[in-house]
Amino acid sequence: MKIHESAEDYLEAILRLSEKNSEVRSVDIAAMLEVSKPSVSHAMKLLREDGYIAMDRYGTVTLLEKGAVIARRIYERHLVLSSMLQSLGVSPETAMADACKMEHDLSEETFEMIKKHYYTMGGKEVTV
């Protein structure tokens, strides 16, 4: 299941925000991703049409199972890659930024081998 990188970013943001707040709104997503509210509105429309999210009449955004699967996959990649980079001595800020770039483009095979190697070398396991 392949979707655009920006859609993955929106789904990951919704997941991360939902872990902190009971309600996720477009304004929260815009703030987290540092994008405009119209950009979020357009993305939410597309994600809703494709069955990744639901929105109620109050504007609360909820991940549907299809969207949650992708969000968890991307967020796990983000956590593992940023932790691995930090264990190599990369600053937390740079590790987070680089993980954002890497998380979308790695094949599943490569990511699984990185994760296996990282955990074998004593890296802390992440849970999503």
Residues 59-104 pLDDT 10s: 999 999 999 999 999 999 999 999 999 999 999 999 999 999 999 8
- Total number of domains in the chain: 2
Which residues span the domain enclosing 39?
5-69
The answer to pTM > 0.85 is yes
The amino acid that residue 28 corresponds to is D
* Cβ atoms < 10 Å from Cβ of 84: 20
- Cβ atoms of 102 and 57 within 8 Å: the answer is no
Instruction: With respect to residue 57, please indicate whether it lies within any of the assigned structural domains.
Output: yes
79 and 64 co-located in one domain = no
